[in-house]
Amino acid sequence: MTLRLRRHAFADDASLMMAIVNRTPDSFYDKGATWAEEKAFERVALVAAQGAEIVDIGGIKAAPGVEIGAAEEKARVVDFVARVREELPDLVISVDTWRAEVADAVCRAGADVINDAWGGADPELVDAAAAHDAGLVCTHTGGVTPRTRPYRIEYDDVVAAAIADTVAYAERAVAAGVDRASVMIDPAHDFGKNTFHSLEVTRRLGEMVATGWPVLVSLSNKDFVGESLDLPVGERLTGTLAATAVCAMAGARVYRVHEVVETRQTVDMVATIAGRRPPQRAIRGLQ
């Protein structure tokens, strides 16, 4: 299925890089490196030059912390989205928010996608996406409250739960007026899950792909990688790329990442091994 993100369209065999840009002073990975607007814009320009088709701009870190109201969240992202839209008109802009009020404001400023990392916590978010003909990422969080860590959450079958919840969310979005071709589903590694759950959805990601909805994965430097290898945040790239390769072989379409170049090479190599992409140069043994 062609993926349509507002005025941008991507063929069903295209794998997309969604580069993370944090407008927060306390993000878990970069520790506020792109909190200042100019640093954030430098990051956008860099990842665009590296080939990222999408940037995902977020104004609140996912982990617990200082309460950030809708007004402060908008102050962090709305004008920045407008600047990116003006200066990089061909870049797809996503905003990571669960609030309909913020979604409406960023779409007015030029955002193409709403990345709802908290599984529909605000039921009116689908209406905001529909009103602006925006794309929507529908995640599975097991119903946890935004910005809370999971604690002893249990599933009879975590993959079945992820499929049921994300597909139901996707269908609700379509019923609200979001274009079916603009909806993605995301198992949401670590969100509402322990490490065993995240490993299970990685192993069985093909079951989500089989639903027919484009699958987005957000694996980059996540805790399930760190706990699997007993490594801190800054040392998880190799593990992240291993998980990425598994998801790529299963058919994931969009990869939310910190490291664009490394992830692109991993995904392209897997696609070439799988026969979905030709080698870019094949002269060995032929000349």
Q: Block means of pLDDT (10 residues each) for the chain, length 287 residues?
A: 94 97 89 94 98 98 93 98 98 98 98 97 98 98 94 97 98 98 98 98 98 98 98 97 98 98 98 97 94
Instruction: Identify the pLDDT of residue 72.
Output: 97
- 163 burial level (CB within 10 Å; 0-12, 13-18, 19+): buried
For the beta sheet containing 216-218, the strands, ordered from the edge strand earlier in sequence to the opposite edge, are 183-186, 135-139, 113-116, 92-96, 54-58, 16-22, 254-257, 216-218
* Helix/strand/coil percentages in the chain, nearest 5: 45, 15, 40
Tell me the C-alpha distance between 62 and 32, whole Å: 14
Contact 255, 263 (CB under 8 A): yes
The single residue listed with the structure tokens 């490196």 is: 33
18-to-41, 96, 109 alpha-carbon distances in Å: 15, 11, 19
Domain boundaries, the chain: 3-273
In CATH terms, the fold of domain 3-273 is: TIM Barrel (3.20.20)
* Beta carbons of 202 and 156 less than 8 angstroms apart: no
Cross-strand pairs, 183 = 136
- Asked if 3 and 253 count as a contact pair (C-beta separation under 8 A), the reply is yes
pLDDT at 28: 81
pTM given for the model: 0.97
What is the per-residue pLDDT for 26?
Answer: 85
